[in-house]
Amino acid sequence: MCGIVGYIGERKAQDILLKGLKRLEYRGYDSAGVAVLNRHKISIVKRQGKLSVLSTELSGRPLAGTLGIGHTRWATHGAPSHKNAHPHRDCKGKIAVVHNGIIENYLELKKNLKKKGHKFLSETDTEILSHLVEEHYKGNLEEAVRRTVKMVKGSYAIAVIHEDEPYRIVGARCDSPLIVGLGKGENFLASDVPAILDYTHDVIYLDNHDIVTLTRGGVSVKDLSGRNMRKSPSRIKWDISQAEKAGYKHFMLKEIFEQGDVLRNMLEERIDKGRVVFNELEIPSKVFRSLKNIMIVACGTAYHAGLTGKYIIEECARIPCHVDTSSEFRYRDPVLDKNTLVVIVSQSGETADSLAALREAKRRGCKTLGICNVLGSSIAREADGVIYTHAGPEIAVASTKAYTAQLAIFYLIAIYLASLRKALTASGITSLIKEFGKCALLMNELLGEYKSEYNALAAYAQEFKRYYHAKHNKSYFLYLARNINYPNALEGALKLKEISYISAEGYPAGEMKHGPIALIDENPWVVCIATQAKTHDKMLSNMQEIKARGGIVIAMVTEGDKEIMHHNVNYVIEIPPVRELFSPLLTVIPLQLLAYYVALEFGYDIDQPRNLAKSVTVE
Ligand code: F6R
């Protein structure tokens, strides 16, 4: 949510800022701006709209200077507009600030600043920061920033520059990510690693309440009392090519097609001599032996992975699991104790509600485990233990490969727990590991079917668009499934609504008769996941009921399912045969692709859907 870049060195700051912002655009894209300092003068250019609008503007009148800060915005306070775009200035125009987060006490601070004569130009909470720095500035920018952040409540990652100190950038963070990139004769500040990977792989992950000062020659980090903090740099192992489209039309498509490799790499990394290994996990095995229940907490797609995780863990390890959305968990009074393991699932590791839920669980004395994709993220660092999904950078706003990686981690956790607690026999464990390995191959096989641009799902999407217009835009999607595939019904619906803005709901199919069937007429397209033998007949009955009321049915079945032929469904999607427990890893693939092709048909911006941002770092 909002991307920040800062650069100080010998190169043209504008180019580095724009390139960095491009890589952070997934964090917000309703306006963008840069401030470049040259010869004691800060020039700011900002524009409403995507980064391309700003880039076009700057290509016509480039800013000279080798020090600057930039921002791409996801609006919280104040509509997306030119005046609310960052950077923001102080009254004298000597200071520029970019900010990610929310300053919760900004109204009170603004009132006091106004009393002192400060004039505000925007509706943002951010603008109070530039005025507070101005108020506190007595010839030392770092000190002014320290005094400023001591006054604010809320979350922030900021970068600040001052015309009187044209040799430094000062940054600070609290509950919004900020990293430093270490170069030679140049240094970088950014919200996330992809922004700086073209220049350096050495980064410092800043902690809450750190104040960082970057000059060309060095970086110093201090705490809020001005004490020097020692920070060890981390080396980023992945390459910038992983954050590029590699010939695909969209990041989302690329990330969907990467899922087979994600699974294969996970197998190579996590299975050793027939055992599951979590090398980075710092929680002792005796904790897992003695735990009595598991509480899984997450948001959005990660929550759906958690819902599936419950089925997997309960079936394999026989430990009771509960699942909650982070935003609900943090405000209720859950029954937890020291024998509860709270598992926080988060691709970004920065989602504000999930981070707050983690802290709440720790406060209540539970052991906490993060399942994260982004290395060094807040949840990964604050949880008692972390298991990384290692899915590589996920750039498209709609999550795909991180989801299957989260599912895969749940299979591994379940096998790990089952083996530690002897919930399954040795041969039971071996057969699960074997089946999991098979899934990686089957996933690649399934993805192979959709490699061509003109595949069955693309054709269904075209049909849907025609139908949608014929029905005067009243068509929409329902997703039905039972049991372990029910969370995938929710996920399929979420993917579709996120990127195609078409109404979509997921239901457990057995619930249809308790209300939702009233919706069925000739308008909805209903995707029915009927791959599981256990509930196959029940799903066929659901399909009949929908067809009888005029609905369009897309049936997802296992290859070789002959019965489906007798049910007069409109479209069929087949997945390779796999043990039921593992079917969610495969059934989600066509759902992701269907959402993709529908959005493509309607011509929407797939990687950057409206109103969304990749990393939700505000409540
Ligand atoms: C959906 C999507 C969101 C995220 C949710 C949690 O495609 O991307 O629903 O899953 O915002 O984000 P993380 O996993 O970063 O905590």
- The answer, yes or no, to whether any atom of ligand 1 lies below 6 A from the CB of 616, is yes
- The answer, yes or no, to whether any atom of ligand 1 lies below 6 A from the CB of 347, is yes
Task: Output 493-497 pairs: Cβ under 8 A, ≥24 positions apart.
Answer: 494/300, 494/301, 494/304, 495/398, 495/400, 495/591, 495/592, 495/595, 495/596, 496/594, 496/595, 496/598, 496/599
Verify that 252 and 272 share a domain, yes or no: yes
Mutation choice for ligand 1 from 616, 617, 618, 619, CB with most ligand atoms inside 8 A: 616
Cis bond before residue 87 (omega within 30° of 0): yes
Domain finish residue from 236, 254, 284: 236
- Output the residue whose Cα is nearest ligand 1's atom 3: 300
Token pair in block for residue 349: 């590791």
- The answer, yes or no, to whether any atom of ligand 1 lies below 6 A from the CB of 398, is yes
- The answer, yes or no, to whether any atom of ligand 1 lies below 6 A from the CB of 299, is yes
Verify that 86 and 138 share a domain, yes or no: yes
- Output the residue whose Cα is nearest ligand 1's atom 9: 300
Domain of residue 504: give its range: 456-602
Token pair in block for residue 95: 């200071």
DSSP state of 608: S
Catalytic residue among 2, 316, 366, 372: 2
Which atom of ligand 1 is closest in space to residue 399's alpha carbon?
A: 7
Domain finish residue from 211, 236, 261: 236
Token pair in block for residue 67: 């020090």
Verify that 426 and 495 share a domain, yes or no: no
CATH number of domain containing 52: 3.60.20.10
Verify that 370 and 492 share a domain, yes or no: no
- The answer, yes or no, to whether any atom of ligand 1 lies below 6 A from the CB of 608, is no
Give the residue-averaged pLDDT of 489-498: 98
Mutation choice for ligand 1 from 74, 191, 299, CB with most ligand atoms inside 8 A: 299
Verify that 429 and 517 share a domain, yes or no: no
pLDDT at 466 over 80: yes
Residue 618 lies in a domain: no
- The answer, yes or no, to whether any atom of ligand 1 lies below 6 A from the CB of 395, is no
Structural domain count of the chain: 3
pLDDT at 158 over 80: yes
Mutation choice for ligand 1 from 192, 250, 301, CB with most ligand atoms inside 8 A: 301
Verify that 70 and 192 share a domain, yes or no: yes
Residue 165 lies in a domain: yes
How high is the pLDDT of residue 28?
81
Using CA atoms, how far residue 310 sits from 297, 301, 428, 564, 588, in Å, is: 11, 15, 19, 29, 17
Find the 290 Cα to ligand 1 centroid distance in Å: 31
Residue carrying structure tokens 């700051």: 13
Residue 440 lies in a domain: yes
Q: Residue 99 forms beta bridges with which residues? A: 158
Q: Are strands 476-481 and 504-508 parallel, antiparallel or unpaired?
A: parallel
Verify that 326 and 419 share a domain, yes or no: yes
- The answer, yes or no, to whether any atom of ligand 1 lies below 6 A from the CB of 302, is yes
pLDDT at 287 over 80: yes
Active site residue 451: no
- The answer, yes or no, to whether any atom of ligand 1 lies below 6 A from the CB of 492, is no
Verify that 494 and 564 share a domain, yes or no: yes
| Banded pLDDT at 345 (limits 50, 70, 90) | very high
- Output the residue whose Cα is nearest ligand 1's atom 16: 346
Residue 140 lies in a domain: yes
Residue 610 lies in a domain: no
Find the 300 Cα to ligand 1 centroid distance in Å: 5
Instruction: Give the lowest-confidence range in 236-240, 312-316, 468-472.
Output: 236-240
pLDDT in tens, 405-456: 999 999 999 999 999 999 999 999 999 999 999 999 999 999 999 998 889 9
Domain finish residue from 408, 423, 448: 448
pTM: 0.88
Q: Residue 618 forms beta bridges with which residues? A: none
- The answer, yes or no, to whether any atom of ligand 1 lies below 6 A from the CB of 130, is no
- Judged by DSSP in three states, 33 sits in strand
Which atom of ligand 1 is closest in space to residue 374's alpha carbon?
A: 15
Residue 333 lies in a domain: yes
How high is the pLDDT of residue 100?
93
Which atom of ligand 1 is closest in space to residue 298's alpha carbon?
A: 16
Find the 40 Cα to ligand 1 centroid distance in Å: 42
Find the 67 Cα to ligand 1 centroid distance in Å: 34
pLDDT at 564 over 80: yes
CATH number of domain containing 394: 3.40.50.10490
Average pLDDT, the chain: 94
Calpha distance 296→322 (Å, rounded):
6
Q: Residue 73 burial by CB count (10 A; 0-12/13-18/19+): exposed, middle or buried?
A: buried
Verify that 232 and 248 share a domain, yes or no: no
pLDDT at 241 over 80: no
Find the 126 Cα to ligand 1 centroid distance in Å: 25
pLDDT at 242 over 90: no
How high is the pLDDT of residue 80?
85
Mention every residue, 6+ apart, whose C-beta is less than 8 A from residue 185.
9, 10, 216, 217
Residue 313 lies in a domain: yes
Which atom of ligand 1 is closest in space to residue 354's alpha carbon?
A: 16
Verify that 69 and 87 share a domain, yes or no: yes
Verify that 181 and 223 share a domain, yes or no: yes
| Banded pLDDT at 343 (limits 50, 70, 90) | very high
Of the candidates 3, 1, 19, 21, the one whose C-alpha atom is nearest the C-alpha of residue 11 is 19
Give the residue-averaged pLDDT of 89-96: 97
Give the residue-averaged pLDDT of 245-253: 92
| Banded pLDDT at 33 (limits 50, 70, 90) | very high
| Banded pLDDT at 277 (limits 50, 70, 90) | very high
Active site residue 614: yes
- The answer, yes or no, to whether any atom of ligand 1 lies below 6 A from the CB of 589, is no
- The answer, yes or no, to whether any atom of ligand 1 lies below 6 A from the CB of 399, is yes
Token pair in block for residue 302: 């990660």
Residue 619 lies in a domain: no
Verify that 204 and 266 share a domain, yes or no: no
- Output the residue whose Cα is nearest ligand 1's atom 10: 301
Calpha distance 526→521 (Å, rounded):
11
Which atom of ligand 1 is closest in space to residue 300's alpha carbon?
A: 9
Catalytic residue among 94, 254, 310, 614: 614
- The answer, yes or no, to whether any atom of ligand 1 lies below 6 A from the CB of 348, is yes
Find the 504 Cα to ligand 1 centroid distance in Å: 17
How high is the pLDDT of residue 436?
94
How high is the pLDDT of residue 618?
72
